[in-house]
Amino acid sequence: MAEPLDDATMARAVELAAYGLGTTSPNPVVGCVILDASGAPAGEGFHARRGGPHAEVVALRAAGVRARGGTAYVTLEPCDHTGSTGPCTEALLAAGIARVVYAVADPNPVAAGGADRLRGHGVEVEQGLLAEEAERVNAAWLTSVRLGRTHVTWKFAATLDGRSAAADGTSKWITSPEAREDVHRLRARADAIIAGIGTILADDPLLTARPPETGARREPPLRVVVDTGARTPATARVLDGSAPTLLAIAATTETTLDAGLLRLPYRPDGLDLHALLRELRGRGVVSAILEGGPTLAGAFLREGLIDRVVGYVAPALLGSGRAALGQAGVSTITGIHSLVYEEVSLIGPDLRLIARPAPK
């Protein structure tokens, strides 16, 4: 039965889960709050890193004996398996928790079944509270488990009229320093940054995460270059060794480049991007930021492989020049890629728009 504090307490659990963004891969982000039998806060916690205690266990430790007869609010169904840690179902039962409220069912077949196990032991269990919010914070992991591939965020910067370079190709600093700093935070929370060979040849980017604050993330994101013909110059900055780099090349391409190579099937219109994302997921890459350039972004969109869009839009107009997005397989209006906005905010003088594909 719903209780008055349910919504606010689960909202706190979602907030806690977000602290894990960037450090838990290939595990989910999870938050947990425990209220004692009288409804007072007794403990809270979040999952901080793979191999570390699950959110429920952190919160139970904080609550101690006050957990007895209390309620646990968890953003993900408690696990019922022994992986790198013991089952949370057992920890909750041992602590004498009387009620468990969780937001999203665990799609991981190995760990699922926690709700049934708890019910079987007489615990009151409810599912679905703030499911939308909990889905959003854990979107990358949920997508990667449900679809067996890396979750992709396409990031772009453009003028208000959707241009990312002037007619002569110049594109430096369309958006503000604040927006560029924000991009580094976005990158730091992802497991990989993907760019096309066109961007490497044109801009020679570093593709590293350099947020102003030193975060808790342990490893820098993997740099992935979609480079069918292995044309990345040996002197390119992505090969500077400051972060790991993987060149995705066609299976038939011969190269002497001294870099991590991922050989993929080639299809008439380019590398098999589905295979790329399956392979990356197999290497523990749960989330990736897709950056540069418009052609590659168009190809991902055409294949239905963009899960989230983050656009930084400057208060400026160009009227001509390169569009932020290239050919995306749309020839008539019925083929439009419809999105829903999730968030709109001002970052310095620029707008940051976050959207995801509209449900079909």
Closest-CA residue to 178 (of 353, 318, 355, 351): 351
Residue of minimal Cβ distance to ligand AOF: 83
> Quick one: which segment of 49-57, 116-124, 183-191, 318-326 binds ligand AOF (CB under 6 A)?
49-57
Half-sphere exposure of 249 (CA within 13 A, CB side): 17
Instruction: Give the x/- contact pattern for Zn ion in 51-90, rule: CB under 5 A.
Output: ---x------------------------x--------x--
| Cβ-based burial of 273 (10 A; exposed 0-12, middle 13-18, buried ≥19) | buried
Cα–Cα separations (whole angstroms), residue 117 to 37, 81, 93, 169, 184: 21, 11, 10, 60, 42
Handedness of CA 38, 1, 135, 179 (dihedral sign): negative
Residues 10, 35, 67, 88: which binds ligand AOF (CB under 6 A)? 88
134 binds ligand AOF (CB under 6 A): no
Contacts with ligand AOF: how many residues (CB under 6 A)?
Answer: 16
Active-site residue, 178 included: no
Q: Which of 13, 14, 30, 157 touches ligand AOF (CB under 6 A)?
A: 30
Q: Return the one option of Zn ion, ligand AOF, none that residue 227 interacts with (CB less than 5 to 8 A, by type).
A: none
Min dist CB 89 to ligand AOF, Å, is 10
Least Å from the CB of residue 1 to Zn ion = 25
Binding positions for ligand AOF, 65-84, rule CB under 6 A: 76, 79, 83-84
Site string for Zn ion, 155-174 (x = CB under 5 A): --------------------
CB of 88 to ligand AOF, least distance (A): 6
Pick from 166, 192, 203, 173: which is nearest to 293 by CA? 203
Nearest to 274 by CA among 304, 310, 253: 304
**What stretch of H or E contains 157?**
strand 151-159
Choice between 111 and 130, CB closer to ligand AOF: 111
Question: Which secondary-structure segment (H or E) carries 131?
Answer: helix 131-137
Report, as residue numbers or ranges, the catalytic residues. Answer: 56
